[in-house]
Each structure stands twice: as structure tokens, then as C-alpha cells.
Amino acid sequence: MSAPFRVVNLEAGRTVRLEFFGPIGYDFWALFGDNPEEYDKNTIERTRAELKEQLDEIESIEAAVIEVDIESPGGDLGHALNIYQALREKAEAGATVKTRVLGNSASAATVIFAAGDDRVIRRESMLLVHSAMYPYLEYTNQYDLRSLADGLKNWDAQIKEVYAAAGVGSEDIERLMKMNGGHGKFIKASEVRDIGLATDIEGGEPVFNFDHDFILNMNRPIMEDTKTPNLIDRIAAFAGLKNEEAVEAVEDTVEDTDPRIAELEERINALEASNAEGISLLNEARETIATMKGEVEEADNAWAEEVAAKDDTIAEKDARIAELEKAVEDMAVTGDAPKNDTKTVEVAADAPLWVRVNAARRMN
């Protein structure tokens, strides 16, 4: 098999070719091969270093045309998305990116293929598109599985964005990713072009380093040498069941769990509805209180105005009485009375105040 990644200068300053032959990033397939030592070389440090090297190589390219040849069973989706983004940035900077599938390519490799402005597939080649997958599960409970499912949905969303940006319709994307329970199905070059993932088909001898069955069953076989089982085999071994019985046990567990989850969701919805009704009543009560406060304040203001008006009237009357009392007292002290040509009213000095006031009025 060729080296997984290689850069070839075809025409200095004009054309550079990148070759992705083999797994993308983390080599999941080494687990299912006949060389366990090769799988042991898989480390986070190693794959991160490889990705950095590849991204640095792409970033350093100054050619006007970047050709990308692909023949890969796929691999690490995160790794592929980084390569995709780097190639698209080159395209946005003015380079023409041409991707080409030379043989059976699948999974994460199709993400890199989608990065091309021109996307060519050889006539005998095939592509496999599928939903995002997680290859390993240790001791796992339902909450782990649901959290994992949520994460895989996010990966699926990113895959869909990549295919959509290449021009593939949403219905075709959904159909391909859901085939065979999300494991996908190889489609011919003509269909790849028809759905818009490829822009053209070319002749030439296809490169087949990976057969269909190997890629489709990548997460199912058991290595005889290392006896490393897949999930169903581990469940069967733990429970002392045959594989078929283990599958049924898993399905029964899911069936038992789903009604309980539905019940809890229903209770949550009821609580949310009840809370909404309570909040509505509380807001209504607050509005009523605010209205009543306004009415009380308005009544207080009206009463204050009325009291102020009465106080003014009383003050005026008090001032007039004081004035009259002073006039009466002045007459009592001097003994003088206003002259009147027609009549004279005599009032004793010790007469009551009201008598003196009335006498004063008649004289005036």
C-alpha cells in the first residue's frame, strides 16, 4: 500500500498534488488486521503530530492548482474536517482545488473529497457515505449512550454541512447517511455525480486497496490473535449468551427504557405547563395590585386637593372674622361710631359680640 499522505510537486509554482492513500488520521483498521503491533502505534500524540504536519504542508502551498488524490477507507472525522477546512481556505485565497477518487473511498475520506472545486471520480470507483460512528465502548450505561448519541448528532450535522456546501441536496444527504441503519452503502460513480457530490467522471484504472466488505464491516470483525471483541461480543461474553441472544437482550433493554423515558418527558412537559399557568396567575395578580395601588394613590390625591380647598376657605373666613373683631374692639375703645344721617344704633360696651357686629353692620 502507498504511504497514507504524500505531497508531490508536479509543476513548480503551478501545481501541487496531495495524496491520501490509506486511513485518515487514527488507524482504526489496524485493530482488524494481522499486525497488532501496528495498532499499538496509534496514540493521540502521534495522530496530532501527523495532522499538524499535514496542515503545515497544505498551508505552505503557494501553487495555483492543488490536486488531491484519494483512495481511503476513511478514519478520524475530526482529522478529515481539519484537512477540508485547510483546503477550502486555499480555495478562498484563489487556488483551484481539484479532488479525485481513485478507488473505493469511504467515510471521512468523502469529507476531504467534498473540499474540491472540481470533484472527479473514476468510472469504476465507488463511495460510501454514512452517519458518524463511535468505534469503542467499554462499561457503558444508558446515560453514556444518550450523551454519545447527542455528540454523534452534532458530528452528523457537520458532515451534512460539508456535503451541502458541495451542492448535494438535503434529501440525498439524509438518504445516504441513513442507509443500512446509518452504516451506509457504496454507490456507483454515476450516482455520486447525479447527486452533485462529484462534478465529473473520468476513465482510468481504479485503485482498489480496500474492498467493499472490509470497509462495510470495519466495526464488526474480531481479531483472532488478540481476541479483541466488538460490543455485542463483549456483552455476550459477559452475560454468557450467544451473539444473537445478546442482540435481543440489548434490544429488550432499549424497549424497557424507552417507555420510562417517555413517561419522564411527559411529566416534565406537565410541570412546565403547570409552571406556565402559575406564572400567568402571578403576573395577573401583580397587574391587579398595581391597578389598585394606582386607584388608591389617585383617591389620596383627590382627597388632599379637597382638604386643601376647605383649608383655604376656612383661612379666608378666619381672616374676615379677625378683621371684624378688630373693628369692633376699636369702636369699643374709642366710643366712636360711624356717622349715619338716617339712624343711630346704640349698643352697650359689654353687649355680646354678635350684637355689636350686627349693630355695626346696620350702621354701615
Domain total of the chain: 2
Show the domain range for 42: 5-223
Return the pLDDT at 322: 81
Return the exposure string of 313-344: e unless at least 16 CB atoms fall within 10 Å of the residue's CB, then b.
eeeeeeeeeeeeeeebeebeeeeeeeeeeeee
Q: How far is CA 196 from CA 77, 189, 224, 313, in A?
A: 21, 11, 41, 94
In DSSP terms, 106 is beta-bridged to: 128
Q: How far apart are CA 106 and CA 24, in angstroms?
A: 10
79 contacts 25 by C-beta, under 8 angstroms: yes
Rg of the chain taking only CA atoms, in angstroms: 47
With beta carbons less than 8 A apart as the criterion, state whether 198 and 190 touch: no
Nearest to 168 by CA among 189, 199, 190: 199
Helix, strand or coil for residue 121? strand
Name the domain boundary from 223, 245, 264: 223
Kindly state whether residue 292 falls inside one of the protein's structural domains.
no
Residues 187 and 74 in one domain: yes
Question: Is 247 within a domain?
Answer: no
Flag whether 234 is in a domain.
Answer: no
Residue 349: inside a domain? yes
Residue with cell 395601588: 293
Positions of the chain with pLDDT lower than 50, given as ranges: 1-3, 218-230, 232, 234-235, 238-243, 340, 342
Whether the CB-CB separation of 249 and 234 falls below 8 Å is answered with no
Residue finishing a domain among 177, 208, 223: 223
258 within domain boundaries: no
Instruction: State the CATH number of the domain containing residue 98.
Output: 3.90.226.10
Q: Would residue 213 count as lying in a domain? A: yes
Domain end: 223, 252, 285, which one? 223
Task: Identify whether residues 184 and 49 lie together within a single domain.
Answer: yes
* Residue 1: predicted pLDDT: 38
pLDDT at 82: 92
| Contact yes or no for 127/110 (Cβ under 8 A) | yes
The whole-number pLDDT of residue 226 equals 37
Query: What local confidence, expressed as pLDDT, does residue 80 receive?
Result: 92
Q: How far apart are CA 110 and CA 187, in angstroms?
A: 12
In this structure, is residue 287 part of a structural domain?
no
Sign of CA dihedral 35, 38, 42, 48: negative
Residue 13 resides in a domain: yes
8 A C-beta contact, residue 55 and residue 18: no
pLDDT score for 190: 92
CB contact burial 17-50 (16+ within 10 A = b; e otherwise): bbbbbbbbbbbbbbbbeeeeeebeeeeeeebeeb
Phi, psi of 148 (to 5 degrees): -60, -40
Whole-prediction pTM value?
0.56
255: number of Cβ within 10 Å? 9
